């Protein structure tokens, strides 16, 4: 150890040349250790995926009868089902032991489709906003690799496809993973090269998509599995012998700890505080109450005023700036909502969003002009009045 | 899956949003006229595929 403290000659240092405690913090010059010497991109929010630990389910912890291309249960995760198969998507407490996760997302097949037609597909995916990932430098010689890591479990062993799709340049790269042991959590790590010929627009649109394929018809597998970045071709998506998760109602697929980060190494999952995770989801979906809190004469909504004797107006602000001007996403039904004013109540069925700049990324304006009557100028408040009622604002990708 | 699309008009009788209903669902979406909104994009695709927007005019 005699050369510690003086300039060493070129020599190979072995692990036991430097014992514990010899190099203390004070012996390192300020800023001498850079990210170039760390094994992963160690910036905060290095995980490009939002809600990768499946802690946020504003739409409800369990959604049954999922058959469409919708945001079903977990925030930020889109379900794409084009099949006669039907699934229940839910928040599960079945998690890999000792990893710190409290929940996972579970796909449970409730109606099978063992013989999928050519056009069939089933996808669990997250669409990533383009302006969040400009540092990946796609379309340049410096395009950064991305490493995906996740925990997965299924009764269906075999090969599954996971990949990246870039909508701006219509490009994709696919990979695969194998579930080796039935009903056992397994961690998968996959590195994708950067796309030097790709395009990710610097805007609030979709820049990149991480997609997990759970089965598809021959239109998705008739070509050659695209393991390098190439122009998008549906026929080149699936790995050979891709599992069909819909071939039995006994099938289920669970996933958690999804992380997508720059670099070629998977770091430990980046846990965020619940409130931080929730507010990140609010940029894409936010509501007056969680669906689980709905009820008769129940949860508070917004303040409202009779603009005329027949038009009720409500306006308010979102807790965070939304990605785009959102849609009003609501349940409509007889007397689903109640307006309380002047010591009385008046029920109504739904709202109409006032667009054209009145509703924008920061706030909303909506009305009802079909079910309400009263005295112009009277103010009051809105309550939920049905267990199935909900009011959300949707700016998902 | 989209069932119907109807134009919404504001208090000045201007076209302000679309009201969208879905097949076998009590879900109703009010969709702003914003090209960055994915529901708006879906409506344009639905129209391109032959969907017909209901226009009852203004008159509030």
pLDDT at A4 over 60: no
Distance CA(A396)–CA(A51), nearest Å, equals 14
pLDDT at A6 over 70: no
pLDDT band at A180 (very low <50, low <70, confident <90, very high): very high
- Report whether B47 contacts B6 (CB < 8 A): no
This model's pTM is above 0.80: yes
- Report whether B5 contacts B51 (CB < 8 A): yes
Distance CA(A243)–CA(A336), nearest Å, equals 43
Distance CA(A386)–CA(A297), nearest Å, equals 7
For A5, residues 6+ apart whose C-beta sits below 8 A from its C-beta are none
* Closest C-alpha among B44, B40, B18, B54 to residue A353: B18
- pLDDT single digits (tens) A293-306: 888 888 888 899 99
pLDDT at A78 over 70: yes
DSSP states along A16-73: GGS-TTSS-GGGSPTT-S-GGGSSS--STT---SSSTT----TT-SEEEEE-SEEE-S
Does B17 touch chain A if contact means CB atoms closer than 8 Å? yes
Question: Which one of B20, B25, B30 makes the best mutation probe of the A interface by having the most chain A beta carbons within 10 Å?
Answer: B30
CA distance B2 to chain A (A): 11
Say yes or no for a CB contact (<8 Å) between A332 and B27.
yes
Element (H, E) at A296: none
Angle (nearest 5°) at CA A353 between A347 and A356:
155
pLDDT band at A29 (very low <50, low <70, confident <90, very high): confident
Tell me how crowded residue A172 is: count the other CB atoms within 10 A of its CB. 24
pLDDT at position A1 is 47
Say yes or no for a CB contact (<8 Å) between B32 and A325.
yes
pLDDT at A9 over 80: no
pLDDT at position A5 is 57
Distance CA(A122)–CA(A246), nearest Å, equals 9
Q: Identify the residue whose tokens are 């590195």.
A: A191
As a whole number, mean pLDDT of residues A105-122 equals 97
pLDDT at B42 over 50: yes
Tell me how crowded residue A6 is: count the other CB atoms within 10 A of its CB. 7
Say yes or no for a CB contact (<8 Å) between A329 and B27.
yes
CA distance A125 to chain B (A): 16
Say yes or no for a CB contact (<8 Å) between B32 and A356.
yes
Q: Please tell me the least confidently modeled range out of A186-195, A291-300, B18-27.
A: A291-300
pLDDT band at A96 (very low <50, low <70, confident <90, very high): very high
Does B6 touch chain A if contact means CB atoms closer than 8 Å? no
pLDDT at position A233 is 98
Say yes or no for a CB contact (<8 Å) between A353 and B10.
no
Percent helix, strand, coil in chain A, to 5, is 10, 35, 55
pLDDT at A71 over 50: yes
Residue count of chain B, please give it: 60
Say yes or no for a CB contact (<8 Å) between A353 and B16.
yes
- Report whether A211 contacts A163 (CB < 8 A): yes
Both tokens assigned to B23: 């097949």
B17 chain-A contacts, CB cut-off 8 A: 352-356, 359
- Report whether B47 contacts B2 (CB < 8 A): no
pLDDT band at A52 (very low <50, low <70, confident <90, very high): very high
pLDDT at position A3 is 54
Residue count of chain A, please give it: 397
pLDDT at A160 over 90: yes
Q: Is A325 helix (H, G, I), strand (E, B) or coil?
A: coil
- pLDDT single digits (tens) A326-337: 999 999 999 999
- pLDDT single digits (tens) A218-264: 999 999 999 999 999 999 999 999 999 999 999 999 999 999 999 99
B34 chain-A contacts, CB cut-off 8 A: 324-325, 355
Which residue did the predictor score with more confidence, A43 or B32?
B32
Residue in B closest to A326 by C-alpha:
B37
- pLDDT single digits (tens) A336-386: 999 999 999 999 999 999 987 899 999 999 999 999 999 999 999 999 999
Question: Which one of A83, A131, A351, A356 makes the best mutation probe of the B interface by having the most chain B beta carbons within 10 Å?
Answer: A356
Both tokens assigned to A149: 């890591």
A327 chain-B contacts, CB cut-off 8 A: 29-32, 37, 39-40
Partner-chain residue, chosen from B17, B27, B37, that has the shortest CB–CB distance to A352: B17
A68 chain-B contacts, CB cut-off 8 A: 1
Distance CA(A352)–CA(A391), nearest Å, equals 11
Say yes or no for a CB contact (<8 Å) between B37 and A354.
no
B3 chain-A contacts, CB cut-off 8 A: none
Kindly state the percentage of chain A with pLDDT values over 90. Answer: 84
Question: What mean pLDDT is reported for chain A?
Answer: 93
pLDDT band at A183 (very low <50, low <70, confident <90, very high): very high
pLDDT band at A396 (very low <50, low <70, confident <90, very high): very high
Which residue did the predictor score with more confidence, A389 or A23?
A389
A→B contacts (Cβ < 8 Å), by residue, are 68, 204-205, 307, 311, 323-333, 350-356, 358-359, 366, 369, 388, 394-397
For A118, residues 6+ apart whose C-beta sits below 8 A from its C-beta are A217, A218, A219
């Amino acid at each position: 150890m005699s050369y510690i403290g003086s300039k060493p000659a070129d020599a190979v240092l072995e692990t036991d040349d430097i014992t514990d405690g010899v190099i203390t913090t004070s012996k390192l010059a300020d800023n001498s250790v850079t990210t170039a010497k760390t094994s992963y991109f160690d910036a905060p929010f290095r995980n490009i995926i939002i809600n990768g630990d499946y802690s946020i389910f504003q739409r409800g912890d369990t959604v049954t009868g999922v058959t469409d291309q919708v945001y079903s249960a977990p925030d930020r995760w889109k379900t794409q089902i084009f099949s006669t198969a039907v699934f229940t998507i839910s928040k599960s407490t079945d998690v890999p032991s000792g990893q710190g996760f409290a929940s996972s997302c579970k796909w449970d097949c409730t109606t099978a489709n063992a013989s999928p037609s050519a056009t069939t597909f089933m996808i669990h995916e997250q669409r990533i906003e383009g302006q969040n990932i400009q540092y990946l430098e796609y379309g340049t010689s410096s395009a950064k690799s991305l490493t995906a890591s996740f925990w997965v479990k299924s009764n269906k062993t075999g090969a599954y496809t996971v990949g990246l799709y870039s909508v701006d340049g219509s490009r994709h790269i696919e990979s695969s993973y194998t579930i080796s042991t039935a009903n056992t959590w397994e961690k998968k790590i996959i590195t994708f090269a950067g796309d030097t010929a790709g395009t990710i627009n610097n805007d609030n649109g979709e820049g990149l998509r991480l997609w997990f394929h759970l089965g598809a018809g021959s239109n998705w597998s008739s070509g050659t599995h695209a393991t390098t970045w190439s122009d998008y071709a549906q026929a080149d998506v699936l790995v050979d012998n891709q599992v069909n998760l819909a071939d039995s109602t006994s099938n289920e697929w669970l996933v958690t700890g999804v992380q997508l980060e720059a670099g070629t190494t998977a770091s430990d999952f980046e846990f965020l505080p619940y409130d931080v995770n929730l507010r990140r989801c609010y940029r894409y979906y936010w509501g007056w109450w969680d669906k689980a809190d709905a009820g008769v004469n129940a949860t508070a909504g917004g303040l409202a005023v009779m603009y005329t004797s027949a038009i009720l107006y409500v306006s308010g602000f979102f807790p965070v700036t939304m990605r785009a001007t959102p849609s009003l996403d609501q349940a409509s039904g007889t007397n689903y909502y109640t307006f309380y004013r002047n010591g009385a109540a008046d029920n109504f069925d739904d709202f109409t969003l006032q667009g054209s700049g009145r509703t924008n990324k920061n706030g909303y304006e909506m009305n009802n002009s079909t079910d309400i009557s009263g005295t112009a100028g009277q103010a009051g408040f809105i309550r939920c009045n049905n267990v199935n009622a909900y009011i959300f604002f949707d700016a998902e990708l | 899956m989209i069932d119907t699309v109807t134009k919404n008009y504001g208090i000045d009788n201007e076209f302000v949003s679309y009201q969208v209903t879905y097949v076998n669902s009590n879900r109703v979406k009010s969709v702003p006229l914003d090209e960055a909104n994915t529901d708006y994009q879906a409506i344009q695709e639905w129209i391109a595929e032959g969907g017909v927007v209901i226009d009852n005019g203004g008159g509030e």
